[in-house]
A and B are shown apart, each in its own frame.
Chain A
Amino acid sequence: MEPSPLIGPASTLGYPAPYWFLLGFKVLGFILHSVPMSLWLAGTIAAMLLNRYGHGHARRFASRLMQQMPLIIAAGVNLGIVPLLFTQVAYYRVFYPATILMAWPWLSIIVMLAVAYYGVYLHVLGLRGQAGWLKPYTGAAGWLAALLFILIGFFFTNGFSLMTNVGAWRDIWQHTSIAAAPLGTALNSGDPTLLPRFLMFLGLALTTLGAYALLDAAVFAGRESPEYHRAMPLLALKIRIPGLLLFALCGTWYFFGALPQATRDYMFSTWHAPLTVLTALSPGLACPFVLLLIRRFSRALCVLAAVVQFAAIALNAVSRQIVQNFELKPYLDVAAERVNMQWSPLILFLLLFVAGLGVLIWMIVQVAAVQRRELKHQPAGKKH
């Protein structure tokens, strides 16, 4: 039997905007979400390890990172809404069945996220000496949060890989249902792309964390000592090396060992080939900047390294999107759906988006002015 009969009919309402618009926001949202998501995925565990085994500036960075983590998580959850929204608009016919098949693990993400979030808060209170009677639990809370973030990442990879692994639905469904109704206990564990894909992203997240150590030193760590700033590039390199190795190894495994031949051929055809090669190399592109920074610290170079890393995340997201559409092609042409344009709500949204951005920038300007003023008035002796 063809597995495509498990994909339901298209919505009678049609897309509210052209496919390219929905796709654009989905990919843009995912790129933006990937930054904080990488930081909590790789950052929480790295911070816990650095705090346990690291010394001096490495421990200081770990402490800084964990204290920023509540904001990072808030940003990540918030930015995650955009790709989720547009995935549900354009990919609903595969998104809902896949997540229903693994409903319990999928729903558990919310519970784990809440526990991890409060675990981070508790850990931060411990770092600040404000945990009170909860002090003995602050270390465990940090480790628990780190573990849960990794598990959340793994379940997410399951969900989104199952979404395109349509061919496996029937068997998963047959084995995990009562009277044709899924119990929602499945995982996409039979998919050979699952593990390398997850580990590849973990590698990319580590490289992002390394780049963030530089960005933090350049932009947010004004009160830290010059020695701290000079130590960050080497720490960034130490974080990035295992990340690059993991990305390279699992990327090779994913691309040459797990993806079907047809997908590989597609990703090496026409203009996809340079994109594929660039995507594979992209996490390493920031390395020359890091090496230069080890010789001489420069805020501008730090920012540049972070921008290059952001481009690497963007390239990976774009390539992933191309693969996703190709994997779905035998079952579903997502671009072919009828468009029932909603002009006025779209325009109002764009206007509010611009206005909201304006308000956000105004608030950031106020905060930056405070930071500058405080830094200016800080006595030299108070610097670490």
Chain B
Amino acid sequence: MHYPWWHVPFITAPMLIAAIAVVHVLVSHYAVGGGLFLAIETRHAYRSANRDYLAYLKQHAWFFVLLTVAFGAITGVGIWWVIGLASPLATEMLIHIFVFGWAMEYVFFFLEIASAFIFFYYWDRLAPKIHTAIGFIYAGAAWLSLVLITGITSFMLNPGSWPQHPSFWVGFFNPQLVPQVLARTGGALLLTSLYVYLHASFKVKEPRLRNLIEMRSARPALLGAVLIVAGGMSWLTFLPESARSALLAATTLNVLMLLIFALTAIVFIVFYIGPYRNPGWLSPGFSILFLLFGLAAVATGEFVREAVRKPFVCYNVVLCNQVLPSEASALQQRGYLNGGTWTHAWVARNYPQVMRGGEVDAPALLTLSPEDRRSLGEVLFMYHCNDCHAPTIGYSGLAPMIRGWTPEMIDESVKRPEQLRFFMPPWMGTPQEAELLAAYLRTVVPPYPGGMQTGSAQ
């Protein structure tokens, strides 16, 4: 509304956020858990004077820096990039609420980068105590960075009493903070073991060292799996009612949730029986398979986390079509085209005949030619619906969803989408604008599929 809506054909703009976020999370969680793993294990290797293990850890640190400092940092910035493009109003709100949270996170991020480089590039050059201390500085900074970012992302799912008491701390210490910190810390530890396995399975040939790595790096996975389950259960407990209902209502989300718990349980059991109790399992095939399991679990978790927020981007703060809930009733009276900065400018420029005193005159919209009405209906679709639905083919494409609908069904669903599905935002335009949107939808709706023999009289 306040900003232009970026139309991304087929997948819709918000799906770009999901794509980049999932890729980032898979590396950034390793950046957190891997830092702690390297610090603890380097200390262990120094104390036990295990030169072979130390040499392996150095190799792993290079892999870690190459992946997390480069790819992790850039995709992290990438998320910022894409949320500003695909969800500008929500980003505006979050930045204004949490700018100092991000600034604090930046301090830790800076320490992460600096300590990661020093930890790797000064290996064998710093005294063991100093070297280990720098490893722990990295680990601490990375985990605090996770906590700060989680404070912001968990706010998006359940801001608690922030809408009534809008302050930084109320928003940050929201009901979802602890559950998500637990789950993310668990995810970070679990992924770390899987990355270590992958790396070691290709790099280490000596059986004794392989077994040692296997056994020691199974521990983060076991702890991680427990934290994921604990965090996941409390996450479910502190979900807003609508999010929990969305989770229960959507079959896909049900299956995905089950998948997360099943994958976590499988990884836990196999790790306990295998590498932890009976080392000797480490092979490239095993490690690739388990890394894929871990990646699938984490990616699924991120997808579910995004999906259950609907119809909000930030629960009770910003609706997914970039409207503040406080603006909804004014838009219903003044009109959606009128209330949107860019939609208003579009109508003023291209349809000056419907402008009265600088405002879009709602009844005049129906005097436009059918082609113009359809075109303005498409504008309404873009700004009201395209955040979740591709117009025809693509992510949650509308045309396949409404295949075979009668004009009456379309009219009714446009006027009251929130009654059709509680996770859709209400219609925020005038009745005349609803007619324009319906006119557009009527041109994209495919006919009822032929060839079905259901026995119905239709």
A353's nearest neighbour on chain B, judged by CB, is: B107
Give CA–CA (A259, B402) in the complex, Å.
Answer: 53
Give the most central of B4, B66, B324, B344: most A CB within 10 Å.
Answer: B4
Determine, out of B96-104, B199-207, B295-303, B359-367, the stretch whose residues face the partner at the interface: B96-104
CB neighbours (8 Å) of B108 from chain A are 352, 356
Residue B432 at the chain A interface, CB threshold 8 Å: no
Given contacts A5-B341, A179-B379, A370-B126, contact A99 B70 (CB under 8 A): no
B66's nearest neighbour on chain A, judged by CB, is: A121
Interface flags for B62-91 (1: CB within 8 Å of A; 0: not) read 000010011101110110111011001001
A120's nearest neighbour on chain B, judged by CB, is: B70
User: A183 is contacted by which of B7, B82, B126, B349 (Cβ under 8 Å)?
Assistant: B7
CB neighbours (8 Å) of B118 from chain A are 363, 366-367
Residue B346 at the chain A interface, CB threshold 8 Å: yes
Interface flags for B109-136 (1: CB within 8 Å of A; 0: not) read 1110111011000100110001000100
- A366 lies within 8 A of B3 (CB): no
Give CA–CA (A177, B6) in the complex, Å.
Answer: 9
Residue B307 at the chain A interface, CB threshold 8 Å: no
Q: How far is the CB of B1 from chain A (nearest CB, A)?
A: 8
Residue A81 at the chain B interface, CB threshold 8 Å: yes
Interface flags for A331-354 (1: CB within 8 Å of B; 0: not) read 000000000001011101100110
The number of chain A residues with a CB under 8 A from chain B is: 73
Residue A100 at the chain B interface, CB threshold 8 Å: yes
Given contacts A107-B82, A182-B6, contact A374 B125 (CB under 8 A): yes
Determine, out of B53-61, B224-232, B277-285, B381-389, the stretch whose residues face the partner at the interface: B381-389
Is the contact region of chain A dominated by helix, strand, or loop, or is it mixed? helix
User: B4 is contacted by which of A109, A182, A363 (Cβ under 8 Å)?
Assistant: A182
- B134 lies within 8 A of A366 (CB): yes
Give CA–CA (A78, B113) in the complex, Å.
Answer: 8
Given contacts A13-B166, A14-B96, A74-B117, contact A117 B85 (CB under 8 A): no
Give CA–CA (A99, B243) in the complex, Å.
Answer: 32
- B344 lies within 8 A of A5 (CB): yes
Residue A77 at the chain B interface, CB threshold 8 Å: yes
Residue B137 at the chain A interface, CB threshold 8 Å: yes
Chain B interfacial positions (CB closer than 8 Å to A): 1-8, 16, 20, 66, 69-71, 73-75, 77-78, 80-82, 84-85, 88, 91-93, 95-97, 99-104, 106-111, 113-115, 117-118, 122, 125-126, 130, 134, 137, 166-169, 324, 326, 341-346, 348-349, 375, 378-379, 381-383, 386
Excluding A13-B166, A174-B349, 6 further A-B contacts by CB distance (< 8 Å) are A5-B341, A6-B341, A11-B92, A74-B117, A179-B7, A363-B134
